[in-house]
């Protein structure tokens, strides 16, 4: 097969499948379709090497095969290539969206090439892989500890293995992994990370914001949820700043916003470095981002990341 579509939620499982396809080849080029174009991918695939060497092209974020959109010109270009591909090139499209089999391109690839749908691992499968990972690193672990890690990571394989790497670094070869140590090492609930993420954006902490955002992406937290939390916090801050300029007292602001003491004090501290115009501009950017995501003009993951870079830079 010269064209593959790999569809799934797990970055690790997708990478395993990619490695199965490319083997030990060093002739690999990667494109990100949130940044690069279909035309760039096709041009690279269509290039003939004088040595006739097989090359592999990975096209990440090919979500036009699912809910995303593709320009008519790019669609025509890709369909033409699929009809007559370069037999020295292997293209691997990676799509995390649910595939739309009504689309001509998706249907064409399914009919003529290879469509690989990777299901999420079941809890017992994750447990087997996790136990094998610890054994490979010469660590002993009990079933209770394995189950705690998996449950705390919401049965998300990528997140489980990310936490497993932290645990391995904590111990020496031959150690027995202690349950209480794991409780302290493993990241706590998604809700906690959601709020930490929002706080880091409000605090203009770019590095922390991006680190938390990466973790939340692995947890499969919807960007629209994070966007809603950001809108809520910045709206409250804007209203506080506006009421401060109008000369309202603190208890009047609290009553107007429906906040209790500790909530109001938290926002009061966070709003201090901002000017009213800055908060207004951020609110406008959030509104535009929400509109662009809902209208399909921008990928939700890329759009939120660009917002973080813009606000925290």
Domain coverage including residue 177: 123-185
- Residue-wise DSSP of 127-190: HHHHHHHHHHTT-B--HHHHHHHHHHTTT-HHHHHHHHHHHHHHS-TTPBPPHHHHHHHS---H
Task: Classify strands 3-7 and 89-95 as parallel, antiparallel or unpaired.
Answer: parallel
User: How much is the pLDDT for 47?
Assistant: 80
CATH number of the structural domain spanning residue 169: 1.10.8
User: How much is the pLDDT for 190?
Assistant: 60
User: How much is the pLDDT for 53?
Assistant: 79
CATH number of the structural domain spanning residue 205: 1.20.272.10
Residues 157 and 271 in one domain: no
User: How much is the pLDDT for 17?
Assistant: 95
Q: Which residue intervals of 67-142 are DSSP H helices?
A: 72-83, 104-112, 123-136
Closest CA to 94 of 52, 64, 126: 64
Residues 202 and 292 in one domain: yes
Closest CA to 87 of 139, 52, 133: 52
Residues 172 and 209 in one domain: no
Residues 290 and 200 in one domain: yes
Last residue of a domain, one of 117, 137, 168: 117
Residues 15 and 96 in one domain: yes
- Which tokens go with 300? 């939700």
10-residue block means of pLDDT along the chain (313 residues)? 87 93 90 89 84 86 84 90 90 88 88 91 94 96 92 81 91 93 75 83 90 81 88 91 89 83 83 91 92 86 92 84
The H helix count followed by the E strand count for the chain is: 15, 5
Give the span between the Cα atoms of 99 and 238, in whole angstroms.
40
Neighbours of 313 (CB within 10 A): 7
Give the span between the Cα atoms of 20 and 10, in whole angstroms.
16
Give the span between the Cα atoms of 143 and 145, in whole angstroms.
5
Closest CA to 76 of 100, 49, 42, 102: 42
Residues with Cβ within 8 Å of 34's Cβ and at least 6 positions away in sequence, in order, are 60, 61, 299, 301, 302
- Which tokens go with 24? 């030990």
- DSSP at 115: E
Residues 88 and 197 in one domain: no
CATH number of the structural domain spanning residue 77: 3.40.50.300
Q: Exposed/middle/buried for 155, CB within 10 Å: 0-12, 13-18, 19+?
A: middle
User: How much is the pLDDT for 57?
Assistant: 95
Residues 218 and 298 in one domain: yes
Residues 203 and 281 in one domain: yes
58 in Cβ contact with 27 (< 8 Å): no
């Amino acid at each position: 097969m010269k064209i593959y579509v790999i569809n799934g939620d797990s970055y690790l499982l997708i990478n395993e499948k990619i490695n199965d396809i490319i083997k030990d080849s060093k002739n690999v080029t990667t494109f990100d379709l949130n940044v690069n174009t279909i035309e760039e991918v096709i041009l690279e695939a269509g290039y003939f090497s004088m040595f006739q060497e097989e090359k592999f092209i990975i096209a990440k974020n090919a979500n036009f095969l699912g809910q995303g959109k593709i320009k008519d010109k790019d669609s025509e270009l890709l369909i033409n290539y699929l009809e007559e591909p370069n037999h020295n090139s292997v293209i691997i499209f990676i799509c995390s969206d649910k595939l739309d089999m009504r689309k001509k391109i998706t249907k064409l690839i399914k009919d003529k090439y290879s469509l690989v749908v990777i299901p999420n691992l079941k809890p017992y499968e994750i447990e087997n892989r996790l136990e094998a990972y610890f054994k490979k690193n010469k660590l002993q672990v009990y079933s209770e500890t394995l189950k705690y890690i998996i449950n705390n990571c919401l049965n998300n394989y990528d997140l489980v293995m990310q936490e497993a790497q932290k645990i391995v670094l904590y111990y020496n070869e031959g150690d027995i992994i202690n349950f209480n140590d794991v409780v302290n090492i493993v990241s706590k609930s998604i809700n906690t990370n959601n709020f930490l993420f929002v706080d880091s954006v409000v605090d203009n902490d770019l590095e922390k914001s991006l680190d938390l955002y990466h973790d939340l992406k692995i947890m499969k937290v919807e960007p629209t949820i994070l966007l809603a939390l950001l809108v809520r916090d910045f709206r409250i801050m804007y209203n506080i700043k506006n009421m401060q300029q109008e000369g309202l007292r603190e208890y009047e602001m609290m009553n107007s916003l429906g906040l209790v003491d500790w909530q109001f004090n938290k926002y009061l501290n966070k709003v201090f470095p901002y000017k009213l115009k800055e908060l207004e501009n951020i609110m406008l950017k959030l509104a535009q981002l929400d509109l662009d995501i809902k209208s399909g003009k921008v990928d939700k993951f890329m759009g939120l990341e660009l917002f973080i870079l813009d606000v925290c830079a």
